[in-house]
């Protein structure tokens, strides 16, 4: 006979949602938008359904110094949560995306990095999402009355201006079509441990007598 039965959720996949003070968001985003427009102006023609992207070096430009500080503050909180704050991280790439109505980003991840993130400068009132895929292989999905984090095979994050979403770089995700009537403007970035080869890449097991 059953004495006790309880679920235990193992191997979670965390996301971090960071919202800046709403009173500061409008001016901060207006400045970012102006800098992005300067970089891509005059906008080259792109095929229907495509978007504009800046070079991946925004983190090196003085105009984005305040944005880099925001990334660094958010990263500190993530590192403390993961208990890896003793290992410094650095931004390895940072770029802006300008998505007109009808454009999307196909499923992808961000190789050769530890953390990735996206910050939203402008978001249509409707029709904008960020969708993360279940990383578990071979998932069986029987019909269920309600999907939750244990039974669903995707998670939809809700963008909004002034919001940053950070996630493990290996987590596959895509941006569905912009179904709104205005542009979706975001800034994406990657982070990696500054001295990975020197401090973290060595075997994690300890040698014992008899090991070959």
Across 3-142, the runs of DSSP E, i.e. the strands, are 16-19, 52-53, 89-99, 105-108, 115-122, 130-133
Distance, in Å, from the CA atom of 29 to the CA atom of 127, rounded to the nearest integer, reads 20
Tens of pLDDT along 19-34?
A: 999 999 999 999 999 9
CATH topology of domain 16-135+148-194: Jelly Rolls (2.60.120)
- As a whole number of angstroms, the distance between CA 93 and CA 105 comes to 18
Q: Domain ranges for the chain, please list them.
A: 16-135+148-194
- Indicate the angle between helix axes 22-40 and 65-82, nearest 10 degrees: 120
pLDDT at 44: 87
pLDDT tens by residue, 150-200: 888 899 999 999 999 999 999 999 999 999 999 999 999 999 999 999 988
pLDDT above 80 (res 139)? no
Q: What is the pLDDT of residues 71-99, one digit of tens each?
A: 999 999 999 999 999 999 999 999 999 99
**Spatial CB neighbours of 205, under 8 Å, sequence gap ≥ 6:** none
Looking at the predicted structure, is the pLDDT value of residue 212 above 80? no
Structure tokens at 81: 């949560």
**92-to-60, 116, 194 alpha-carbon distances in Å:** 10, 10, 9
């Amino acid at each position: 006979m059953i004495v006790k039965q309880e679920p235990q959720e193992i191997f979670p996949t965390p996301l971090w949602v960071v919202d800046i003070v709403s009173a500061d968001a409008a001016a901060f985003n207006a400045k970012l938008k102006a800098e992005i427009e300067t970089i891509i102006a005059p906008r080259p023609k792109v095929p229907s359904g495509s978007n504009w992207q800046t070079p991946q070096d925004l983190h090196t430009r003085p105009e984005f110094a305040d944005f880099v500080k925001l990334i660094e503050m958010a990263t500190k909180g993530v590192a403390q949560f993961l208990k890896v704050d003793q290992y410094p991280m650095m931004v390895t790439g940072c770029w802006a995306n300008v998505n007109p109505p009808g454009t999307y980003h196909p499923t992808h991840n961000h190789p050769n990095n530890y953390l990735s993130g996206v910050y939203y400068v402008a978001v249509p009132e409707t029709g904008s999402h960020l969708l993360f895929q279940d990383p578990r292989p071979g998932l069986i999905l029987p019909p269920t009355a309600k999907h939750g984090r244990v039974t669903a095979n995707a998670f939809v994050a809700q963008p909004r201006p002034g919001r940053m979403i950070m996630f493990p770089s290996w987590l596959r995700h895509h941006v569905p079509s912009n179904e709104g009537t205005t542009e979706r403007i975001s800034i994406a970035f990657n982070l990696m441990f500054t001295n990975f080869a020197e401090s973290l890449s060595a075997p994690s097991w300890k040698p014992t007598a008899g090991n070959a």
